[in-house]
Amino acid sequence: MLIAQISDLHLRPPGVPAYGVAETNAFAENAINALLRLRPAPELVVLTGDATDCGLPEEFALLTTLLDRLPMPVFCVPGNHDRREAMRAALAPKGYLPADGALDFVVEMRPVRLIGLDSLWEGHSAGRLEPASLDFLAAALAAAPDVPTVVAVHHPPFVCGIGHMDRIRLLDGAARFAAIVAANPQVERVITGHHHRPVAVRFAGTICQIAPSVAHQVTLNLAPGAPSDFVLEPPAFLLHQWIEGTGLVTHQAYVQRAPGPFPFVMPAEYPGGG
Ligand SMILES: [Fe+2]
Ligand SMILES: [Fe+2]
């Protein structure tokens, strides 16, 4: 089973770059093309939030147009840049989001289940998991304690060392979220976006993995007081492959095509043999 994770598209109305410089609509188009080129094709795609930059209806219209180019199902959790009701309305035809309340959902597939959680805290950049979402998570995990599960949520629940992002991580509900994950060893991975960088950590007895953005990246600056800014490093995404006997293996893939592949033609003096 192969799951592609894309994150933080930050779509804008047509012709409007994000922050005046990031051509996020073009970046998103490139990401869709990269997903379409993958062989084998992923069975599903998870978008871990900030699908749009401002949650505008025209941004969500662009999102659905782009995602409809993909032949496999796509599941989205909201980010702080999205708007809950606009997202619910735009994605209602897909049928996996609830009709009201938080945009939490379960995708019952095998060998790995997917749980999506809504950490959008209206009026804040930081994240919040409301008690109802945490109850939803606990109940969903209790329903299948033996099935490996991926939990997708936009806001990372840990401190990563980039101060301006740490201040807007998952804050409200984070302790109970960690407790629920810790009590459910079938949680194979917590996958997030928001930080626009690939980061992994041991978290609550599992692995928490932040995806890079398929658009702009947050500057890698671990100095205290680092300014809040971004760079146009190569856009990337994650591929999570379930391998029986190993578990979920995560690869980072780049959106842009690169030269190659080239064969490993070994020089005669190579010491490793044939
Ligand atoms: Fe973002
Ligand atoms: Fe975000």
Average pLDDT over residues 10-38: 97
pLDDT reading at 253 higher than 70: yes
DSSP-assigned states of every residue in 16-82: --BTTTB-HHHHHHHHHHHHHH-SSPPSEEEEES--BSS--HHHHHHHHHHHTT-SS-EEEE--TTS
The predicted-structure confidence for 49-106, as pLDDT tens digits, reads as follows 999 999 999 999 999 999 999 999 999 999 999 999 999 999 999 999 999 999 999 9
Starting from the CA of residue 154, give the closest ligand.
2
Ligand closest to CA 9:
1
pLDDT above 70 for 274: no
pLDDT tens column, 180-197: 999 999 999 999 999 999
Q: Specify the pTM.
A: 0.97
For 109-160, the pLDDT digits (tens) are 999 999 999 999 999 999 999 999 999 999 999 999 999 999 999 999 999 9
253 CA distance to ligand 2 middle (Å): 21
Average pLDDT for the chain: 97
**Centroid of ligand 1 to alpha carbon of 253 (angstroms):** 18
CA distances 81 to 8, 55, 127, 173, Å, are 9, 6, 11, 19
Q: Ligand 1 centroid to 245 CA: how many Å?
A: 34
Domains annotated for the chain, with CATH where assigned, are 2-254 (3.60.21.10)
**Ligand 1 center to residue 155 CA distance, Å?**
9
Distance 45 CA to ligand 2 centre (A): 18
15 CA from centroid of ligand 1 (Å): 19
Question: Is pLDDT of 273 > 80?
Answer: no
Please name which ligand lies nearest the alpha carbon of 211.
Answer: 1
Contact between 31 and 212 under an 8 Å Cβ cutoff? The reply is: no
Cross-sheet strand order for the sheet of 247-254: 74-77, 44-48, 2-6, 236-243, 247-254
Note the ligand closest to the C-alpha atom of 196. Answer: 1
For residue range 228-237, list pLDDT tens digits in order: 999 999 999 9
Percent above pLDDT 70 for the chain: 100
